Chain A
Amino acid sequence: MSMDPDTPEPSGGLKIPKLPDLEIPKLPNLPKITVTRKQALTAVGTAVFVVVVAVIGGAILLNYTQNQQVAAFSSHVAASEADIFQVYDKIAVHMRIPTNDLSVAECDAHMREFAAIARYGRDVTAYHRQIVAADTIPEAYTGAQSAYVRALDNLNRAFTFWSSAAGAYEMRDYAAANRNLADADEAWRAYAAAITDYDRELRAAEEEGTEEGGEEVPPPPA
C-alpha cells in the first residue's frame, strides 16, 4: 500500500491533521528615536545625581554605622565594667573580714565564700568576654577591643586560679593553694597591664577619629 506523503497514515490508523501554513506577520516599523540635546542632558544629569546621592548617602550611612558600632562596643564595655565592679564589691567585703580569730569552721566558711566569689567572677568575665569579642567595630578600635578582651581573659584566668586555690584548700593542700594564688596574682597583673593597653589603644583610636574629622561618638546610654 502506498502512502500519501501529505497525509501520512501510520500503521495504527491515526491520522495526523495537516497543519496550516504559518503566516509570519510583518514587524511594525519602530519609531525612530530622536533625542534632543535637552533630553540627553537631563538623562546624564539624572545619572550623575543618582551617583552623587548614592555616594553621599553611603558615606553618611557608613559613618552612622561606625558610630553605632562604637556605641554598641561602648555599651558592652560599660555593662562588663558594671558587672565586674559588682564582683569587686563582693571581693572588697570579703577581704575586709578579719581572719585573726576565726575558728576552723569559720575559716572553712570563709574559704567557701571565696570560692563562690571566684566562680561568680569567672562566670561574669566569660560572659562579657563573649559579648565584647563578638562586637564588629571600626578598624581603628580593634586594638582597644583586643586589649579589653585580653583583660577579661586574664581576669577570668585569675578567678580560675582562685577557684583552684579554694579547691586545694578544701583538699588540705595548702602548698598547692599558695601556688595557685601566686599564679592568680600574676594573672591580675596581666589584667592590669591589658587595661593600660586598652586605654592607650582607645586614646589612639579616638585621636585618629578626630583627625579624620569624623563625627563625635555619642556617649553610651547610661
Chain B
Amino acid sequence: MEWKDVLPVIAGAVVILVVALVVKPALLGEPIGFGSRGLVPAGDPPAYVPPAPVPTATPFPDDGEVYTRNFRWTAIDGGVQTTQVTVPEALFREHRETPRITDYNTWGRYALADADRPVLEDLARRIAPPAANPDEEYFRLMDLVFFVQQIPYDKDDNATSYTEGALPRHAMYRAGGVEYPKYPAEMLVDGRGDCEDAAILMTGLLDALGYDTVLLRYSDHMALGIRMNEFNPCYAKYTPKYFEHEGKHYYYIEGTDFEWWNVSVGSTAIWGTPRAIGDAAGTGLPSVRSETPQIVPLRYIPEPGEYRIRPARLPGGGA
C-alpha cells in the first residue's frame, strides 16, 4: 500500500465532511457544524401597530333645541344672583340613553364628560368670573361651591328628581334603593340631585376652573376633595379635614348642603352660608365623621409601576 492509495480515501472523506457540515447547512440556512438547532421562524420581527384613530364626536348644533334653566342663588357676599343655563336637548337625551357604570371608581368620567365641558366652562365663568386680584380667588371658589350646595337635594329613588317625572331607563336598582349618577348637564336640567350628582357637578365645575379635585366615597355618601397645599384659615372654628392621595392633600367639601337658618321664627324663608372647605364634622353624617373615604380620582390612567428594561450582556463579550 502506498500514499497514492491512501490520499483519495482521505480526500473523499474530507469532501463528504465539508459537504455535510458546511455546504448543505449553508445552502439550507441551517447552522454550520454538528447538530440541528431546530426550526427558526422565518419572517421579520413584529412591528408596532398604532391604535386606529377614533372618530371625534359630532358637536351638538348651536341652533338646536335647548333646555333653559334659571338658577336663583346667593353668593357668599349675600347678594342674590340669577344664572341662566342652557343645555342642548340632544346632549341631555344622549346622556339619558347612556347606560350607567356600576363601578363608582369610574364616576369621574361623568364629571369630565367632554360633551358637557362647554356648558360647565360657560357656567363656571359666569359664577366665578376671572379676577384680577389673586386674593379674590378664594371668593370665586366659594361662590362656585355655594352655587352647587344650593341646588335642591333629591334622592335617586324619587321621580321628582328627574325632569321627565319618571325614573330613567338606565337607573340602577340595588338593594339599598336606586342609583343613578347624573352627568353634570343632567343635574343642571333636572335642577336637583343627590350627593353623588352634586359632587360630580361640583368637581366638573372646579376642574373647568383648573382645580385639582377628587371624589370622596363613603359607605352612604359622596363628597369631594379639593387639592390645597395648606388650608387653615384663622376664622375656622374647626380643624380642616383633608385626605392624602399620592402625596397630595385633598380637603373635604360637601356638595349637597349648606349652613342655613330660618330668616325669622315661623318663616319658611331661609338664609345661610356655604359649608366651608374642610368642614367634615358639620355635615352631621356619622359616616363622614368616622370613616376614611375612598378617594376616586377624576382621571384614571392605569400606570404600571414597573416598566424598565434591563440590558442583557451578550454571550461572547458582545456589548
Contact = CB atoms under 8 A, between A and B. Distances in A.
Interface of A: 39, 42-43, 46, 50, 53, 57, 61-62, 64-66, 68-74, 77-79, 81, 83-88, 90-91, 95, 99-100, 102-105, 107-117, 119-120, 123-124, 127-128, 130-131, 134-136, 141, 144, 148, 151, 158, 162, 165-166, 169, 172-175, 177-178, 180-181, 184-185, 188-189, 191-192, 195-196, 198-199, 202, 205-206, 216-220
A181 B41 contact: no
Contact of B49 (A62, A84, A120): A120
A68 B32 contact: yes
B220 interface: no
B181 to A, nearest CB: 12
B306 to A, nearest CB: 3
Given A42-B1, A103-B114, A174-B105, A169 B302 contact: yes
B139 to A, nearest CB: 24
Does more than half of chain A's interface fall in helix, strand or loop, or is it mixed? Answer: helix
Interface stretch (B162-170, B273-281, B310-318): B310-318
A219 B231 CA distance: 63
Contact of B37 (A42, A66, A69, A74): A69
Contact of B304 (A110, A141, A188): A188
Contacts of B314: 74, 77-78, 81, 219-220
The 4 closest A-B pairs by CB, nearest first: A65-B33, A188-B306, A217-B316, A123-B46
Given A91-B307, A95-B303, A120-B46, A127 B37 contact: no
A177 B51 contact: no
A219 B312 contact: no
B234 interface: no
Contact of A84 (B50, B309, B315): B309
Interface in B46-88: 46-51, 54, 56-57
Given A78-B314, A102-B299, 18 more contacts: A42-B1, A50-B9, A50-B10, A70-B316, A85-B309, A87-B309, A99-B303, A109-B54, A124-B45, A127-B41, A136-B31, A136-B35, A174-B103, A181-B303, A185-B304, A185-B305, A202-B313, A217-B315
A119 B316 CA distance: 32
Most chain A CB inside 10 Å of its own CB: which residue of B1, B2, B39? B1
B31 A83 contact: no
Contacts of B96: none
Interface string B83-100: 000000000000000000
A93 B22 CA distance: 46
Given A61-B34, A68-B31, A72-B37, A102 B301 contact: yes
A99 B315 contact: no
A116 B316 contact: no
A127 B37 CA distance: 16
Interface in B1-30: 1-3, 6, 9-10, 17, 21
B45 A112 contact: no
A95 B307 contact: yes
A202 B315 contact: yes
B312 A151 contact: yes
Given A107-B301, A127-B41, A113 B105 contact: no
Contact of B51 (A116, A123, A127, A205): A116
B239 interface: no
Given A46-B1, A100-B299, A104-B114, A188 B307 contact: yes
A74 B316 contact: yes
Contacts of B106: 172, 174
Interface in B173-187: none
Contacts of B317: 206, 216-217, 219
A19 B251 CA distance: 127
Interface string B281-319: 000000000000000000111111111111111111111
A90 B315 contact: no
A37 to B, nearest CB: 13
Given A84-B309, A109-B54, A202-B313, A135 B304 contact: no
B318 A107 contact: no
